[in-house]
Chains A and B, each alone.
Chain A
Amino acid sequence: EDQVTQSPEALRLQEGESSSLNCSYTVSGLRGLFWYRQDPGKGPEFLFTLYSAGEEKEKERLKATLTKKESFLHITAPKPEDSATYLCALAGGTSYGKLTFGQGTILTVHP
């Protein structure tokens, strides 16, 4: 069974204080590892897809990386507008388009 565990559950940062969110996973044949951002009262917004260990993707202050067991979402010099819940999800070899989601990390960036 595919499993996703995100840590920490909540993270408070000062503006400009860089940090990382962790997504640990177990899967039979990874098809893709996904990161989403979710603002309060809204649907998840797609950020990145990673397909193989060693792959990295960047968008503004965010960089996602992938190993065979974990993915990290690195946030460099965060701003208050980066405050949101960040969700990790994976598609396994037998999932046929379905995603398994972690419970998310609530990020708060204080000015």
Chain B
Amino acid sequence: DAEITQSPRHKITETGRQVTLACHQTWNHNNMFWYRQDLGHGLRLIHYSYGVQDTNKGEVSDGYSVSRSNTEDLPLTLESAASSQTSVYFCASSESSGDTQYFGPGTRLTVL
């Protein structure tokens, strides 16, 4: 069955370190998205991609970057982790022609 996976599921890091969160989908979807979820803010869009070599900034993109070298993967990099980036991160994907997004299980990131 097609699925979307994220790794690691839990990560603890220190302020200033670079961190990369992986997202892999086997739906063959062109669209991929990264969100963070915090109490009181709901799901907020960080970055998104409509296909290979395409990346776009979402509403909370500062301090994050993504790259898309193939259809299946959209890794999220925190260039220099900050305590404000402690959150739960979700990856999602959708078909080019549709809007329904399917979510991964999430990564809980703690920045100390």
Contact = CB atoms under 8 A, between A and B. Distances in A.
Nearest to A101: B43
Interface of B: 31, 33, 40-43, 45, 48, 50, 58, 90, 92, 94, 96, 99-106
Interface string A75-111: 0000000000001010100011111011110000000
B45 A42 contact: no
Nearest to A43: B103
B99 A32 contact: yes
B100 A32 contact: yes
B102 A104 contact: no
A42 B37 CA distance: 11
B42 A103 contact: yes
Contacts of A44: 43, 90, 103
Contacts of A41: 106
B99 A45 contact: no
13 contacts: A32-B99, A34-B99, A43-B90, A43-B105, A43-B106, A46-B100, A95-B99, A96-B50, A97-B48, A97-B94, A99-B101, A101-B42, A103-B42
Nearest to B35: A101
B104 A98 contact: no
B50 A104 contact: no
B5 to A, nearest CB: 10
Contacts of B45: 98
Given A42-B106, A43-B105, A44-B90, A97 B50 contact: yes
Nearest to B102: A46
Which among B33, B90, B100 has the highest number of chain A CB atoms within 10 Å?
Answer: B100
A56 B31 CA distance: 27
Given A34-B100, A43-B106, 11 more contacts: A36-B103, A43-B105, A46-B100, A46-B102, A49-B99, A89-B43, A98-B33, A98-B45, A102-B42, A103-B41, A104-B42
